[in-house]
Amino acid sequence: MKNLVFGIFLILISASSFAQGNGIEEEIKELSKQKWQWMADKDVDKLASLFHDKSKFVHMSGSWKKERELEIIESGSIWYKNAEVHDVAVEVFGDDTAVLWNRITLTAHVRGNDVKNEFTVTEFYQKEADDWKLLDLTFSSVRDTHEIEH
């Protein structure tokens, strides 16, 4: 009987952990989706709140920190017009860290021209108090046949 109760307890704990992880995955996916829209809308106020103060951004043309990324978005130096998301994968570590991979076709306005590029974008998130903060956003140029392993 003791073993049965213990077994049921383990199953309930496992189910609870899975549900919590799955809830975080969905929360991170939604947050990433909102981020792409805020970037398209040049909504630097919402992005400033999302980006961690020590966040880093890695692009094809260089790497920089939060303030520079916000300047670039606000000025339209890079205008993230549309991120067509083809696939998303999320891994959750504990209850306060998540990594998201997006396979996207990005339409952007850069140096006076509209350009389309295929990327896998890696996003690192960490929970601070009740809010998720973006720690890192890295664009990796890929072929349109690239797939994210789930």
The predicted structure's pLDDT at residue 20: 54
Q: Domain 2-141 classified CATH 2.40.100.20?
A: no
- Where in the chain are the domains? 2-141
Q: Is pLDDT of 12 > 60?
A: no
First to last CA, the chain: 39
DSSP letters spanning 53-97: EEEEEEETTEEEEHHHHHHHHHHTSEEEEEEEEEEEEEEEETTTE
Residue range 24-36, pLDDT digits in tens: 999 999 999 999 9
Q: What is the tens place of the pLDDT at every residue in 63-84?
A: 999 999 999 999 999 999 999 9
- Calculate the average pLDDT of the chain: 89
Q: Are 115 and 78 in contact (CB under 8 A)?
A: no
Output the pTM of the full model: 0.83
